Structure 1
Amino acid sequence: MHVLVLHNRYASAQPSGENKVVDQEVALLRKAGHRVEVFERRSDDIAARSLPAKAALPFLVPWNPGVRRELATRLRAGRPDVVHVHNVFPLLSPAVLAACADAGVPAVATLHNYTQVCPPGTLQRDGRPCAECVGSTPLPAVRHGCYRGSRLATVPLAVSLSVNRRRWWSGVERFFCISAAQREVLVRAGMPAERLAVKHNFVPDPGVRRAGDGEQLLFLGRLAEAKGVRLLMAAWDELAASGGVGVPLVIAGAGPLEREVAAWAAGRDDVRYAGLYDTAECRRAVARSVAVVAPSTWLEAFGLVAVEAMAAGVPVVAAGHGAFVELVEEGVTGLLHRPGDAGSLADRLRRITADRSRNQEMGRAARRRYEQGFSPVVGLERLVEGYRAAIAGRSGGGDSTPPPVGTESLGGST
C-alpha cells in the first residue's frame, strides 16, 4: 500500500506524544513493506520566519492556499492509495482536505485530541472540565482566551473550527478515534458516528521490562496543569507529611510548570526532578518504577504513557476519567483515583507501593493487556484495515460504515 502521511510537528522543546505516535506508525508501516511518504511542516521553523511571515501566520491557520496547491501537485504526481492526516495546526491547515479532493485521493484522519469540537483541543478551562463549545459555536473559547490564555491567539483556531467543521466531516472517509471515551464525546458533539472508528495507539515493545519491585514512582510527560502536575505535588506533600511511601518520586519532562516543579523538588530527598529524558532514558526509567503516575485533570483522549508502562510490565496510577478508564483495569493493571482529588491520588499511591506482591501481579497483568491490545502486531492490523475501508468507501467498492466500537476488526478491546 502507498500511504502519504500529513503532519505538522509540534515544537521539539517539549515532549509530544503525537509526534511519537506519528513516527512509530510510519516506521511500523515501512517495516511491514508498505510505501510511506511524509508531507510535513515543523513548528520549530516558525522562529526563523520573517516578521511579516509571522504576522501573516494567524490568517493561514483556517486556510493555507499555498499548502493546498503544493499538496495537490504532489498527490497527482505520486498517486498514493490513501492520505493519513494527523495534526494540521498551525502550518498545514484544513486546506489539505481540499487538496485530497482535488486529486481524488481518500483521506483518513487520526483525532489525537478534541480540536474538532474545542479550539484548544483540551475540553478544559482554568484547570476544570469545560464543554461550552461542544455542539455549538466556539465563541466562548474566544471570550475566555482558551488557547494560551489569549483571546487574540484563540481567534484563528475558533475561526478554523467554525468554517471547516463540515469540510472535515465530508472530506475524511474515516476518523480514527484513539479511545472509546473520545469517540463518545465527539458523537455527542454531532460528528458523524458512521465515520468514527476506535483505533487505539500502539506502542513498540520497549525491549526492557521491570525486574523486581521497582525503586521509584514516575511521572513522565509534559509539565502542565492539564497533566495533573500540581495535583501530584499536592498529593505527594500529603504523603510526605504522613511519613512517605518508602520510594522517591521522579518527575521527568518539560513544560510551562518546569520552574515550579524544579523549585518544589529542590533540596528534597523524596523527590527528584530529572528534566527531559530521551527515548532510551524514558524506557529505562519506566522499567525501574513501582508504578507510573498519570493524574491528568483533563479528559485524556488516549494516555500513551499508561500503555508504555504496561509494555514494561509496570502498573499505572491514573485519573479515573477519559481514556484511562478503558486503558487501566481497576485493581488488575493499576489503580484509578478520583479526578482532581489530591487525597484520592495520595491514597492510590500509598496502596500501589504498600503490597509488593500485589504490585507484581498487576505488572504481569499490565503486560498481558499490552500484548493483547496495544502491540505493534495489533496496531498494524487495525491501521491497514482502516486504510482499506477508506479506500473501499471512496471507490464505492465496500461499505464505508465503521464496525461498532469494541469489535475485533477495528475497535479492539476498550
Structure 2
Amino acid sequence: MSRTRTASVRAVGRVGRQGGPVQADGRTAAPLSWVWLAAWPVTAVFVLSNAATPLYVLWQRDFGFSKGTLTVVFAFYILGLIGSLLVSGVVSDRIGRKPVLLPALVLALLACLVFATATGVAALIVARLLAGVAVGAVVSAGMAAVTDVAGPERKRLAALLASCAMVFGAGLGPFLAGILSETLPAPTVTVFAVEAVLLVTAVLVVLRMPIQRSPSPAKGAWMRVPSVPRGRGRQLIQGVAVFAPGLAATSFVLSLGPSLLSGLLGTTSRIVAGGMAFAMFLTATGVQFAVRHLRRHTILTAGATGTAMSMITLIIAVHASSAPILLASALLAGAGQGMGQLGGLSLLNSAVPPQRLAEANAALNVGGYVLAGVLPVSAGYLSDAVGLTGGATVFGVVLMSLAVIGGLVVLTGRDKAPEPA
C-alpha cells in the first residue's frame, strides 16, 4: 500500500476543516447536522402523503362516495408512486439526486393546490396521483441522498435517519391535518397551505445539500423494473418479505382506520383519526431507534412478528368493538413497518454500491407498495359487500399469514457471519 493511500485510510474518522470526518478517499464528509437536514425533504413529502387521511370524512360527506371508492383514491396514490419508482431510482443514480428531488417537490406543491381546491372525487384522484409520483421520487432519490451525504462511514446512521424521516412524516401529516382541520376555518385549504410551506423549506434544503454525483453511474434502460446488482437479490427478497406486510398493515389503518373508529366509537373526530395515525407512526419511529444496534436479520424477524401480532389484535378489536384494542393493533402495525423498513434499508445500504442505491431503494418500495395497494383496496370493497367486520377479518388473516411467511424467509436465509458496521 502506498504512503498516500495509507495516510488516507488512517485519516478516516478524523474531523475535517468543515466539521465532518475525513473519508477513506481523502474527501471531507458533510457535518453531522447536514445528515439530519438531508432527511428533511423525505419528511416533508411524507407529511403530504397522509395529510389527507383525516379529511376524507369531510370529502365523503360533501362528495358522497363509498369506502370502496375511498380505497380507490388511495390506490391511485400507490399507482403514481409505483410508476415513479420505475423511473426515479435509475434516473437519480445516473444524473444525480437533486435533478430528481426538485421536480418531485414541485409536483408535491401542485398536489397541495389540487387538494385545497378539490370539488369532486376526480380532483382527489389527481391530487393523490401527483402525491404518489412525488413520494416515489423521494423514496428512491431522497433516501439515497441521505446515504450519500452521510458517507460510507455512517451507513447505518443514514439508513436509520432516512427510514425514520419517512415514517415520522407519514404520521405527522394526519396529526397536523386533524388538529388544523378541527381548530381553524376552511380545513381543506388550511391543511395544504401549511404543508406547502413545509415543502418550500424542503426545496431550500435540497438546493444547498452538499452532495456529489456518482463518478460511475449505472447503465441500462432508463425506465425499468428496479432491481439490485447481481448477487444482492437475497437481501432485497428478505427486506420485501417483511416490509411489504408491515406497509400493508399501516396502509389499512390509514385508509379504513377512520371508518373503524366511527363504527367503534361513533365519532368522526378528525383529531382522533389523525392522532391514531400519528401514534402508529411515532411508534414506527421510536422502535427504530430502540433496535438500531441489533443485527439486521433480528430487526427483520421482530418486524414480521409485530405485523402478525397487529393483525391478531385487529381481528379481536373489530369483533369486540374495542377502540383501545384497535389502537394497540395500529401501534403494532407501526412497529412492524418501522422494523421491516429499517431492516430492509440497512441490508441494501450494506450490500449495494452508491451508484445503484437509489434503484435498490426503489426496488424495495415497489415490492412493499404493490401489496399495500392491492390488499387495502380489496378490503375496502369487501367491507362494502360483507360489512367492515368481515372485511377487516379477512384482511387480518391474509396479512398475518404473509407476515409469518416473511419471518420464515428471513430466518431461513440469514447469514451466520458477523454483520459489517
TM-score where L is the length of structure 2: 0.30
| The structure with more helix, counted as a fraction of residues | 2
Larger RCO, structure (CA 8 Å, separation 6 or more) = 2
- TM-score normalised by L of structure 1: 0.30
Quick check: which one's strand share is greater? 1
